[in-house]
Amino acid sequence: MKSVLGAVAASSFVAVAILLLSWTIYFVELNSSAYDFALRLAGPVPPSSPVVIVAIDEDSLDRIGMWPWSRDKLARLIQGVSAGKPRAIALDLLLDNETSEDGDYALALAIANAPPMVLATRLDSVDGVELWRQPLGIFIQKGVLLGHVHAEPDFDGISRQVFSLKAGEGRVVPAFAIQALHAAGLEFKSDFEQKAGGAELIRPQAINIRFAGDQNTFRRVPAWRVLEGSADAGEFKDQIILIGFTAEGLGDEWFTPFAIGQKKTSGVEVHANVIDTLYAGRVITEVHALALLAALGAFVLLLWWLNHRFEGWRSYVAAISTGPLLLALSWLFMKYFHLWFPFPPFWTAIVFVVPGLEVANRIRVSRDLDRKIERLSSGWITALTAFQSQTQAASERRNRLFGRRRRNSRWKLDAIDFFNKELMQFLSFNNAILASIEDVIIVSDLEGHVVYQNIAAKGLQKYQMNPPDAPAYLASILDSGNFRPLFENVRTTTESVTVNFIPTRDGRRFYNVSILPIARSGIVITMHDATAQYELNQAKSDMVSLVSHELRTPLTSIRGYSDMLLKYDLVQDKGKTFLGTIINESNRLNQLIQSFLDIAYIESGRHKITKSDFEVGPMLKDLIGTVGPMAAGKQIAVQSAGADGIRVHADRLLIYQALINLVANAIKYSPAGTMVRIGVSDGNGGVRFEVADQGCGIPADELSKIFEKFYRRDNEETRDESGFGLGLAFTKEVAARHGGDVVVESEVGKGSVFTLSIPG
């Protein structure tokens, strides 16, 4: 919209400029030639007015005598013409000088007896004063009209118009042709004559002559024929007879649009043309300047649109082809409407506007290029900074490029080359990364059409080069029914989904499949081969089953029967001691199995973590109560601090067990009479439990090992303490399951601090 408004404004401006230009002398000349051309193109028209020229031609001069002829001869000529009963006679000769009295009288008599007559007059400047050269008084009789015979050649010497009247010496004289029509009593339409209350008013106006043809268009009778009586008097009946020179060299010849560079047209023929133009209503009108301006504006707009619509040579062809069209339009107007539609301003518009638009286009493209380069250099390139290996060299090249002062089109091309190269390298870098990824990556558009697969995809059993549809493709690879609802879900919610351990169709491999949306433009599917993990889980799960069934069941029997033996007193003295050992050891074994299962359960994922929001204080109170007898046995005091009001979101049972492990260790591995402190603090949305003792401590090289399963330190202080080396491993697993951690700081001989942190 903005560009259209701009184009309208620019078109108006250009139209005004061209119109102003078309009033300069060169254009006036051009326009005049175009006018003549259009007129000639429109072609001659058959004269429609009753005009006959009685020509004083070369033959007449040969036969009758050299000019000037005596007034007697002119009198005879008029008598001869009058005999044919014409409507009017218009004499295109100046009768302003006196000759012999007899001769003048004879002519006056002939005029008196002739039909209505028009005599010629003209304004001549004598010593800078304009004076009418008019017929002698004796010729100006009643009913004789005077008409001015001024032809008005344009600056190029071509007569195209006459003035409806000429004013001078306080008198106004209508044109010769107008007077001839009046004398003949023929009506004609004009806008320069008005009848007002019986009087006729005539306005000064240029009358553009619609020439009927070249110099021999109107009927002609040589003057000598009339004088020698060989003319057919019938030819003059009801005609307007124009008497004048057609012979060359008598000073009354003019160039017209039909006779340029060829033979000139005689003055009398020009008058005949004017009579015909007026009589037939063929005065050539001109397009109004404002209408022309509007048309020009519209045309420039059209050129703009063509340039917009067709780029390059097509727009030139389209613009140039309007040239002949305009000419045809001009011809049409001239021929059928006698309207001069000047096409040169429009041609000028083509000449100036088409290259102008092209230049404007170039400038716009160049500016656009500048902006794009700027954007590439600032924003875009930052995206490439991840592209480490290239950054150094590229930034040097970039600095060199942008350090250049002269930013001509060469520079712009260099810049484009630079970015092109950068992007290409970046792309191949990215491709290399994608190719090196072992996970399968499949990208689809939002409709599900697969648009990309990485190299790893080729290893898929049912790999297809051009799979049409991502959900169907997945379904063909994996044995998990329909992926379409999942897809839809990701597409509509734009939230990613991950499904673990989906078997392939042959059941040999297992994949973790993630479906992720990318900025509302597509969907990425990643498939991670989790077969090994699946198998490990499977093995763990199998082991848990084994331990819990195959070990526990016989152990329960051993315990049960041992208990029965003791209860029913079935063994004696020494046997009882052995039985006590059996029961103790099977209890220990049971504990070991329980501890092992505790870990195995959560590791295998069988133990589902059920989080709740609970207060830490009461839990610690329970805990201290539980370890109370054990602590009392070693005279160790257990204290807790900072738990008031602190809540945590976690699996209460697991946290309790994890903490029991830490506190029990603290008691176990501390000498009698020491103290165990349980500190609680919260912050950053999580809770930290600190269990600090004053025990034997752990050497630095063993700090990381103590969290391993079945790892027990073998030293004097701890040797006597029972345990399986599973407590800390369990605590670690619980922390990990909550997204937290357990760490230890310790100093040998001084004590240890275990910190269990659980995020919120």
Residue whose token pair is 């995809």? 457
Single out the residue of 105, 310, 429, 724 in contact with ligand ADP (rule: CB under 6 A): 724
Rule CB under 6 A: is residue 735 a binding residue for ligand ADP?
A: no
The one-letter amino acid at 162: V
Q: How near is the Cβ of 747 to ligand ADP at its closest, in Å?
A: 11
Q: What does the alpha-carbon distance between residue 374 and residue 407 come to, in Å, rounded to a whole number?
A: 12
User: Using CA atoms, how far apart are residues 655 and 588, in angstroms rounded to an integer?
Assistant: 23
690 binds ligand ADP (CB under 6 A): no
Tell me the window of 46-54, 256-264, 530-538, 658-666 that interacts with ligand ADP (CB under 6 A).
Answer: 658-666
Shortest distance, position 463 Cβ to ligand ADP, whole Å? 48
| Choice between 96 and 702, CB closer to ligand ADP | 702
Phi, psi values for residue 681, rounded to 5°: -145, 155
Q: Based on CB atoms, which residue is closest to ligand ADP, 380 or 711? A: 711
Q: How far is the CB of 737 from ligand ADP (least distance, A)?
A: 17
Helix, strand, coil in percent for the chain, rounding step 5: 50, 20, 30
Interaction of residue 677 with ligand ADP, rule CB under 6 A: no
CB of 136 or CB of 703, closer to ligand ADP: 703
Half-sphere exposure of residue 150, counting CA atoms within 13 Å on the CB side? Answer: 23
Q: How many residues contact ligand ADP, by CB under 6 A?
A: 22
Pick between residue 267 and residue 727 the one whose CB is nearest to ligand ADP: 727
When asked if residue 706 is in the footprint of ligand ADP (CB under 6 A), the reply is yes
Contacts (CB under 6 A) with ligand ADP, residues 47-106: none
* Residue 718 sits in the site that holds ligand ADP (CB under 6 A): yes
Q: Which of 372, 528, 652, 713 binds ligand ADP (CB under 6 A)?
A: 713
Q: Which stretch binds ligand ADP (CB under 6 A): 6-14, 362-370, 392-400, 722-730?
A: 722-730
Three-state DSSP class for 730? helix
Task: For 621-750, list the strands marked E by DSSP.
Answer: 637-641, 647-650, 675-683, 686-692, 741-747
22, 217, 246, 665: which one contacts ligand ADP (CB under 6 A)? 665
Under a CB-based contact definition with an 8 Å cutoff, are residues 141 and 243 in contact? Answer: no
For residues 37, 38, 41 and 46, what is the CA-based torsion angle, rounded to 10 degrees? -110
Cα 51 from Cα 269, distance rounded (Å):
10
Instruction: Between 149 and 706, name the residue whose CB sits nearer to ligand ADP.
Output: 706
The angle formed by the CA atoms of residues 173, 174 and 178, to the nearest 5 degrees, is 155
Rule CB under 6 A: is residue 696 a binding residue for ligand ADP? yes
- Note whether 693 binds ligand ADP by CB under 6 A: yes
**Rounded to an integer, what distance in angstroms lies between the CA atom of residue 227 and that of residue 76?**
7
| 316 forms part of the interface with ligand ADP (CB under 6 A) | no
Stretch binding ligand ADP (CB under 6 A), from 54-62, 425-433, 575-583, 716-724:
716-724
In the complex, residue closest to ligand ADP by CB: 723
The piece of 52-60, 484-492, 553-561, 709-717 that touches ligand ADP (CB under 6 A) is 709-717
Contact 340, 334 (CB under 8 A): yes
- Report the nearest approach of ligand ADP to the CB of residue 726 (Å): 6
Residue whose C-alpha is closest to residue 667's, from 722, 598, 620, 597: 722
At closest approach, how far in Å is the CB of 715 from ligand ADP? 7
CA distance 93 to 134: 10
* Residue from 728, 734, 742, 758 binding ligand ADP (CB under 6 A): 728
* Residue from 40, 133, 150, 712 binding ligand ADP (CB under 6 A): 712
Closest approach of ligand ADP to the CB of residue 753, in Å:
9
Nearer to ligand ADP, 226 or 600 (CB): 600
Binding mask 393-432 for ligand ADP (x = CB under 6 A): ----------------------------------------
Closest CB 549 distance from ligand ADP, rounded Å: 25
Give dist(CA 242, CA 273) in Å, integer. Answer: 11
Q: Is 669 in the site for ligand ADP (CB under 6 A)?
A: yes
For residues 296 and 348, give the distance between their C-alpha atoms in angstroms, rounded to a whole number: 10
Q: How far is the CB of 635 from ligand ADP (least distance, A)?
A: 17
Rounded distance between C-alpha atoms, residue 299 and residue 313, angstroms: 19
Window of 365-373, 426-434, 498-506, 721-729 that interacts with ligand ADP by CB under 6 A: 721-729
Cis ω for the linkage preceding 68 (within 30 of 0): yes
Looking at the Cβ atoms of 299 and 754, the one nearer to ligand ADP is 754
Nearer to ligand ADP, 265 or 752 (CB): 752
DSSP label of 282: -
Q: How far is the CB of 727 from ligand ADP (least distance, A)?
A: 3
Choices 359-367, 506-514, 645-653, 689-697 (CB under 6 A): range interacting with ligand ADP: 689-697
Largest CA distance in the chain: 196
Q: Should residue 658 be labelled a site residue for ligand ADP when binding is judged by CB under 6 A?
A: no
Smallest distance from the beta carbon of 623 to ligand ADP, in angstroms? 16
Please spell the DSSP secondary structure of 566-626, one letter per residue.
HHTT-S-HHHHHHHHHHHHHHHHHHHHHHHHHHHHHHHHT-S----EEEEHHHHHHHHHHH
Task: Report the C-alpha gap between 683 and 495 in whole angstroms.
Answer: 30
Stretch that binds ligand ADP, among 78-86, 228-236, 416-424, 708-716 (CB under 6 A): 708-716
Q: Which is nearer to ligand ADP, 229 or 671 (CB)?
A: 671
* 694 binds ligand ADP per the rule CB under 6 A: no
Please pick, from the candidates 80, 297, 695, 740, the single residue that binds ligand ADP as defined by CB under 6 A.
695
Question: Other C-beta atoms within 10 Å of 748: how many?
Answer: 15
By CB under 6 A, is residue 666 in contact with ligand ADP?
A: yes
Give the Cα separation of 160 and 470 in Å (integer). 82
Q: How far apart are CA 760 and CA 755, in angstroms?
A: 16
Q: Is the Cβ of residue 490 or residue 696 nearer to ligand ADP in the bound state?
A: 696
Chain-centroid distance of CA 590 in Å reads 78
Interface positions, 374-393, toward ligand ADP (CB under 6 A): none
631 binds ligand ADP, rule: CB under 6 A: no
Binding ligand ADP (rule: CB under 6 A), the pick from 50, 174, 723, 740 is 723
Query: Do 631 and 637 meet the contact criterion of CB atoms below 8 Å apart?
Result: yes
- Strands 522-529 and 510-518, sheet pairing: antiparallel
Neighbours of 580 (CB within 10 A): 12
Q: How far is the CB of 389 from ligand ADP (least distance, A)?
A: 47
User: CB of residue 605 vs ligand ADP: minimum separation in angstroms?
Assistant: 22
d(CA 461, CA 527) in angstroms, rounded, equals 13
Spatial separation of the C-alpha atoms in residues 730 and 708, rounded to whole Å: 9
114 three-state secondary structure:
coil
Q: Examine residue 734 and tell whether it contacts ligand ADP (CB under 6 A).
A: no
Which residues contribute to the site for ligand ADP (CB under 6 A)? 661, 665-666, 669, 693, 695-698, 706, 711-713, 718, 723-729, 752
